[in-house]
A and B are shown apart, each in its own frame.
Chain A
């Protein structure tokens, strides 16, 4: 039994979804990311861990150009998705973000109904042509985010009326409604109780059959539980990037060792 689980832990899909090459990010004069090379595999959960201020969230936000909106933020290097440069002039960041969804630390449902929260993306991107299709997308997304049973009888009630864990799952439903290829999660469970956390983790495990998931987390146990690949960030650099079981049992880099064993923070 353990063998099967361990085998599953190994990343099975070796195709690169995203390739980052020599990525530098500057906030004004301050260099936040100092030359990062990382390959994000398709249909795999990749965890970014590291102490606060190490650049893991900044790097995550590069992957769907969320940093574009920050004044004075400058990015050099290359980020390729399926071989195409996502920072090319021809790329529309809004279209990119439909393909690269994001879930944030604090649940942030729109002040709209549960239904409209999920329907919003498919509507503005014109992914559906009629009400029946939209209903189907909403139901499917809510089901995949494991919140359908709790939400199905109150679809017209405001999303903000849900509990924190339910709101977060609603935000995940909203993020997957546009059928993204990559899902970025920036500490998605830090505001949740252990039960809601377990539900989200189960969901992440389920989602990786269809997407690449990249998760930033401060919980090392969470990274160990949900991911197949782990990158350890430290002072704007990737110190070590390897299979998750390797990182947590026998890391190569002494800095990784110190961090995951609680000797550095």
Chain B
């Protein structure tokens, strides 16, 4: 049902449109950063780094618009939840943009070294992360709680891929010390993807909060982190 004051609806829609734009951009940057890693394309990586600025700008726009709307219209109940979530999601998407940018930076370093065997595993993990992000953004637009919870639960798969990669990369670097520089970069890329997965679950939680008015909780299935115990 629309608000009696239609300008209120316009403002709310504007903010959600900005979030959608940020989401689309974050997806694209992640896809291109992965492509830069896969195709060893430094020029593409540079473009990703440059375009991350737009996400930062959008985050500020969302923040300003949301602050103004809270001050001027005193939103209540679901409107308030939509706004609080918009603030948190925009920060999350900005972080995802930063991580994509960081992957792109590392892609540039990696291209200066010889090809790394495990690139295809990283790309596979990246595609899963990308699919998760894309699905949670669709869930946000459609306000689909079930889809959001499904993404939230599936993050454990990304965690497990990360753990497997971690072990493989360690083994690989031990076998051939010339690969340590590239391998270390790959480790960070994998870690960035794992972080993007976590941020994606945060967006799931926001979708749930908007719809249900209560937190989703924190008993999300998680992969056991490796490398923390003395192996």
Mask for A46-84, Cβ within 8 A of B = 1, else 0?
Answer: 000000000000000000000000000000000000000
Q: Are B213 and A249 in contact (CB under 8 A)?
A: yes
Mask for B66-99, Cβ within 8 A of A = 1, else 0?
Answer: 0000000111111111000000000000000000
Interface membership of B2, Cβ < 8 A: yes
- Count chain A CB atoms within 10 A of each CB in B5, B78, B214 and give the residue with the most: B78
Q: Are B213 and A261 in contact (CB under 8 A)?
A: no
Interface membership of A136, Cβ < 8 A: no
Q: A250-B213, A250-B214 are in contact. Are A265 and B77 (CB under 8 A)?
A: no
Interface membership of A121, Cβ < 8 A: no
In the complex, how many residues of chain A place their beta carbon closer than 8 angstroms to a beta carbon of chain B?
Answer: 16
Closest to A257 in B: B77
A261 to B1, alpha carbons, bound, how many Å? 10
Interface membership of B172, Cβ < 8 A: no
Q: Are B78 and A261 in contact (CB under 8 A)?
A: yes
Q: Are A261 and B74 in contact (CB under 8 A)?
A: no
Q: Are A265 and B76 in contact (CB under 8 A)?
A: no
Restricting to A64-107, which residues have a CB under 8 Å from any CB of B?
none
A220 to B5, alpha carbons, bound, how many Å? 16
Q: Are B1 and A263 in contact (CB under 8 A)?
A: yes
Q: A249-B213, A250-B214 are in contact. Are A262 and B77 (CB under 8 A)?
A: no
- Count chain B CB atoms within 10 A of each CB in A249, A261, A265 and give the residue with the most: A261
Mask for B120-162, Cβ within 8 A of A = 1, else 0?
Answer: 0000000000000000000000000000000000000000000
Whole-angstrom distance from the CB of A252 to the nearest CB of chain B?
9
A224 to B2, alpha carbons, bound, how many Å? 23
Whole-angstrom distance from the CB of B162 to the nearest CB of chain A?
35
A220 to B74, alpha carbons, bound, how many Å? 10
User: Which A residues touch B76, using CB under 8 A?
Assistant: 220, 224, 248-249, 260-262
Mask for B155-196, Cβ within 8 A of A = 1, else 0?
Answer: 000000000000000000000000000000000000000000
User: Which A residues touch B112, using CB under 8 A?
Assistant: none
Interface membership of A264, Cβ < 8 A: yes
A251 to B75, alpha carbons, bound, how many Å? 14
Q: Are B213 and A262 in contact (CB under 8 A)?
A: no
Interface membership of A221, Cβ < 8 A: yes
Q: Are A262 and B3 in contact (CB under 8 A)?
A: yes
Mask for B1-43, Cβ within 8 A of A = 1, else 0?
Answer: 1111100100000000000000000000000000000000000
Q: Are A250 and B2 in contact (CB under 8 A)?
A: no
Whole-angstrom distance from the CB of A56 to the nearest CB of chain B?
18
Interface membership of A258, Cβ < 8 A: yes
User: Which B residues touch A250, using CB under 8 A?
Assistant: 77, 81, 213-214
A251 to B81, alpha carbons, bound, how many Å? 12
A261 to B2, alpha carbons, bound, how many Å? 10
Q: Are B80 and A262 in contact (CB under 8 A)?
A: no
Closest to B214 in A: A250
User: Which A residues touch B213, using CB under 8 A?
Assistant: 249-250
A263 to B5, alpha carbons, bound, how many Å? 8
- Count chain A CB atoms within 10 A of each CB in B76, B81, B214 and give the residue with the most: B76
Closest to B213 in A: A250
Which of B74, B77, B80 touches A221 (beta carbons < 8 Å)?
B74
Whole-angstrom distance from the CB of A210 to the nearest CB of chain B?
30
Which of A220, A257, A263 touches B2 (beta carbons < 8 Å)?
A263
Q: Are A263 and B3 in contact (CB under 8 A)?
A: yes
User: Which B residues touch A263, using CB under 8 A?
Assistant: 1-4
Restricting to A223-265, which residues have a CB under 8 Å from any CB of B?
224, 248-251, 256-258, 260-265
User: Which A residues touch B2, using CB under 8 A?
Assistant: 263
Which of B73, B74, B81 touches A249 (beta carbons < 8 Å)?
B81
Whole-angstrom distance from the CB of B18 to the nearest CB of chain A?
21
Q: Are B78 and A257 in contact (CB under 8 A)?
A: yes
A146 to B120, alpha carbons, bound, how many Å? 74
Closest to B74 in A: A221
Q: Are A258 and B1 in contact (CB under 8 A)?
A: yes
Which of B1, B3, B8, B77 touches A248 (beta carbons < 8 Å)?
B77
Known: A257-B78, A262-B4. 5 other contacts (CB 8 A): A221-B74, A248-B80, A249-B81, A261-B78, A262-B73
23 contacts between A and B (CB under 8 A): A220-B76, A224-B76, A249-B76, A249-B77, A249-B80, A249-B81, A249-B213, A250-B81, A250-B213, A250-B214, A251-B77, A257-B77, A258-B1, A260-B77, A261-B3, A261-B75, A261-B76, A262-B3, A262-B8, A262-B76, A263-B1, A263-B3, A263-B4
By a beta-carbon cutoff of 8 Å, the part of chain A in contact with chain B is 220-221, 224, 248-251, 256-258, 260-265
By a beta-carbon cutoff of 8 Å, the part of chain B in contact with chain A is 1-5, 8, 73-81, 213-214
